[in-house]
Chains A and B, each alone.
Chain A
Amino acid sequence: IQLTQSPSSLSAFVGDTVTVTCRSSQDISIYLNWYQKKPGKAPKLLIYAASSLHSGVPSRFSGSGSGTEFTLTISSLQPEDFATYYCLQSFSTLFTFGPGTRLDI
């Protein structure tokens, strides 16, 4: 299963709302997770099952979608949100990540 993400990068201001899209090469229902990755740090789970917010993750992060198209929305961007975001499909046991979306200040 192949995942694509758009855009590959974007720039935004603190306080903005941004949306990242992840598309799957086949129907994966809601078997889609979102991660945040900062340089030198381990990835951090944000969203699982397409729209469920992981414990401790701020409510400004939200996910939606099903089938082949999914979105991660970050509202009211904070300075600590500038990072790279990856989607991951868990429909197949051969997990695959999307190529990532870099969010720059």
Chain B
Amino acid sequence: QVQLVESGGGLVKPGGSLRLSCTASGFTFSDHYISWIRQAPGKGLEWIAYISNGGTTIYYADSVRDRFTISRDNAKNSLYLQMNRLRAEDTAVYYCARESVFDSGGFYFYYFDSWGQGTLVTVSS
């Protein structure tokens, strides 16, 4: 079955760095765009980054642009998020999510249909 497993979370000091990983199984990883989405404690969901199936197209939310880098290794069925210059407000559970598409007569509708269980990142001194 489709499975996404995040790892790499932990406690880091403000200004520090952390690298998250997401390992996929049960589907053809290289066929899918993947995103990172986070949820801060007591807050809502926030999409933060997306990478195309071949890794050539990448987008970031304003809140993380220039600090975070998304990448993938299709040979290893893995997605990564390099997080630099971390701030207290980056404290959250980070999820990777698979993007799938519904083709309705040439109109393409995208949605996140499979998610990992999340990994907690805590930024605190």
Question: Chain A: residues with CB nearer than 8 A to chain B?
Answer: 30-31, 33, 35, 37, 42-45, 48-49, 52, 54, 86, 88, 90, 93-100
CB <8 Å contact, A97 and B47? yes
CB <8 Å contact, B111 and A90? yes
CB <8 Å contact, B47 and A95? yes
Residues of A within 8 A of B97 (CB): 43
Residues of A within 8 A of B112 (CB): 33, 35, 43, 45, 88
CA distance A93 to B60 in the complex (A): 9
Residues of A within 8 A of B35 (CB): 95
Partner of B118, one of A42, A48, A86: A42
CA distance A15 to B97 in the complex (A): 32
Question: Chain B: residues with CB nearer than 8 A to chain A?
Answer: 35, 37, 39, 44-47, 50, 59, 61, 95, 97, 102, 104, 109-113, 115-118
Q: Main secondary structure on chain B at its contact with chain A?
A: strand
Smallest beta-carbon distance A47→chain B, Å: 9
CA distance A88 to B44 in the complex (A): 11
New A-B contacts (9) at CB < 8 Å, excluding given A42-B95, A54-B113, A86-B45: A43-B45, A43-B115, A44-B115, A45-B111, A49-B109, A88-B45, A88-B47, A88-B112, A97-B46
CA distance A93 to B47 in the complex (A): 10
CA distance A97 to B111 in the complex (A): 12
CB <8 Å contact, A30 and B109? yes
CA distance A52 to B111 in the complex (A): 11
A-B contact list, 21 entries, CB within 8 Å: A30-B109, A31-B109, A31-B110, A42-B115, A45-B111, A45-B112, A48-B109, A48-B111, A48-B113, A54-B111, A88-B111, A88-B112, A90-B110, A90-B111, A93-B50, A93-B59, A97-B44, A97-B45, A97-B46, A97-B47, A99-B44
> Which 9 interchain pairs have the tightest Cβ spacing?
A42-B115, A48-B111, A49-B109, A95-B47, A90-B110, A97-B45, A100-B44, A33-B111, A45-B113
Residues of A within 8 A of B95 (CB): 42-43
Smallest beta-carbon distance A100→chain B, Å: 5
